[in-house]
Amino acid sequence: MLSTRAIRTWTWTHKWSSLVCTVFMLLLCITGLPLIFHHEIGHLLGTEIEAAEMPSDTPRADLDAVLRTAIARHPTLQGMFASQEEDDDRVWYVTLAPTPDAKAGFKQVAVDARTGQPLGEPALDSGFMYIMRSLHIDLFMGLPGMLFLGLMGVLLLASLVSGAVLYAPFMRKLRFGEIRRERSARAKWLDLHNLVGIVTLVWFTVVGATGVINAWADLLVKYYQSTEVAAMLAPYKDKPPLASPGSLQGAVAAALAHERGMKVAFVAFPGTSFASPHHYGVFLRGGEHVTAKLLKPVLVDAATSQVTDSRELPWYLKTLLVSQPLHFGDYGGLPMQILWALLDVATIVVLVTGLVLWWRKRAPARQAGTAAARARA
């Protein structure tokens, strides 16, 4: 049983942690809703790259030819990354840039993985989904925006914990799910807030916690590059950079032969942040549904196509990779996406009712202040 003082402390924590983060959580819930269905929305808007159906045993195009096809669209640029979707290996997405370490000027070309023919150029920095994704991830502010939203996520977790603690003493005299319709409008809003809040508590906690983890993604990757990747590249530290990298197809084939049963997630070209001036960084994913979210880096010498190192990712990056699809409901196909969307809408109800309760509680104080001011006048 909580004491009166403890209830006041938890109430203060719940009130102010909720108030500070609620507007931003509303923004994240609203922008997160279309992101749950980003593939489906892309199909409706016509922005999703579509590959033709072909027999499963259709031969695959040589990756060096795929790269040449992409560069032919933008001859002044060079290869930076080549990637494939987890659930669709019919398309290679080749990202090009002025230099391997460029921060702007990117172009992406989608190339059919069977025919080697170009399929289109996805828009990287425009369109409805780009706006939704940028608002949801960093508010168009890069790393500072990500860290700020991470802080709001921490406040959200504090509000959820304090709300759960307060729910038990509040419900002592009420049945679960009861809405006191005979009471004041504020009491009805309070009952609705508590009911939907406790129903969505576990989901909201999971999504909030994974969101906080994702907000640290850039810092975790930078730490990994400065520690694990630096150790893997130590033998090449004093070697001069290559004049031109060797075969992309040879590097990918060497990585797949070294780690049998795995599939390509993406390839980082020499000179990019996920490789070195001497290596292709081939990042492989597991072939099973459970392991498809986890990556394993394989460094391949860009001159000789020989594997030089391959290590398991550290625990913090594995946690990050597992949390990302869980955040958007990417594990169970359309049924889980629909469930995630319904819970997202329910969470919006919790946030809106919380704001209404705060506003209605302030109304008597405002009215009293106005009456006192009139009396003094």
Burial group, residue 302, by CB count within 10 angstroms (0-12, 13-18, 19+): buried
More confident residue, 372 or 132: 132
- Check whether 34 has a pLDDT greater than 60: yes
- Where is pLDDT greater, at 171 or 273? 273
End-to-end CA distance of the chain: give it in Å, rounded: 48
Torsional class of 300: left (φ above 0), alpha (ψ -120 to 50), beta (otherwise): beta
Neighbours of 23 (CB within 10 A): 12
Higher pLDDT, 8 or 325: 8
d(CA 147, CA 303) in angstroms, rounded, equals 39
- Rounded-to-integer distance, Cα 274 and Cα 271, Å: 8
Which residues make beta-bridge pairs with 91?
A: 112
235 DSSP assignment: G
> Do residues 313 and 294 lie in contact, with contact meaning Cβ atoms separated by under 8 Å?
yes
Q: Please, are residues 214 and 325 in contact by the beta-carbon 8 Å criterion?
A: no
Amino acid at 336: M
Length of the chain: 377
Do 190 and 171 form a contact (C-beta atoms < 8 A)?
A: no
Q: What is the DSSP string of 277-327?
A: TTEEEEEEE-SSTTTTT-EEEEEEETTT--EEEE-PPPHHHHHHHHHHHHH
46-60 mean pLDDT? 86
Q: What is the pLDDT of residue 363?
A: 57
> Average pLDDT over the chain, rounded to whole?
87
Given this model, what pLDDT does residue 140 score? 92
Please tell me the predicted confidence (pLDDT) of residue 229. Answer: 87
Residue 180 has pLDDT above 80, yes or no: no
Tokens 């203060």 correspond to 12
Query: What pLDDT is recorded for position 373?
Result: 52
Q: How is residue 226 annotated by DSSP?
A: I
Q: Average pLDDT for residues 146-152, to the nearest whole number?
A: 94
pLDDT tens-digit readout, 229-286: 888 888 888 888 777 888 999 999 999 999 998 999 999 999 998 888 999 999 999 8
Statement: residue 298 has pLDDT above 90: yes
Amino acid at 310: S
Q: Sheet harboring 118-120: ordered strands across? A: 118-120, 107-112, 88-97, 78-85, 263-268, 279-285, 295-301, 307-310
List pLDDT tens digits, range 67-120: 999 999 999 999 999 999 888 889 999 999 999 888 889 999 999 999 999 999
Q: How far is CA 139 from CA 20, 31, 130, in A?
A: 17, 11, 11
* pLDDT grade for 362, boundaries at 50, 70 and 90: low
How many whole angstroms separate alpha carbon 32 and alpha carbon 345?
A: 10
Tokens 């997160």 correspond to: 32
Other beta carbons less than 10 A from residue 179's beta carbon: 15
Residue 278 in tokens = 């001497």
Average confidence (pLDDT) over 313-317: 92
Cβ atoms of 67 and 136 within 8 Å: the answer is no
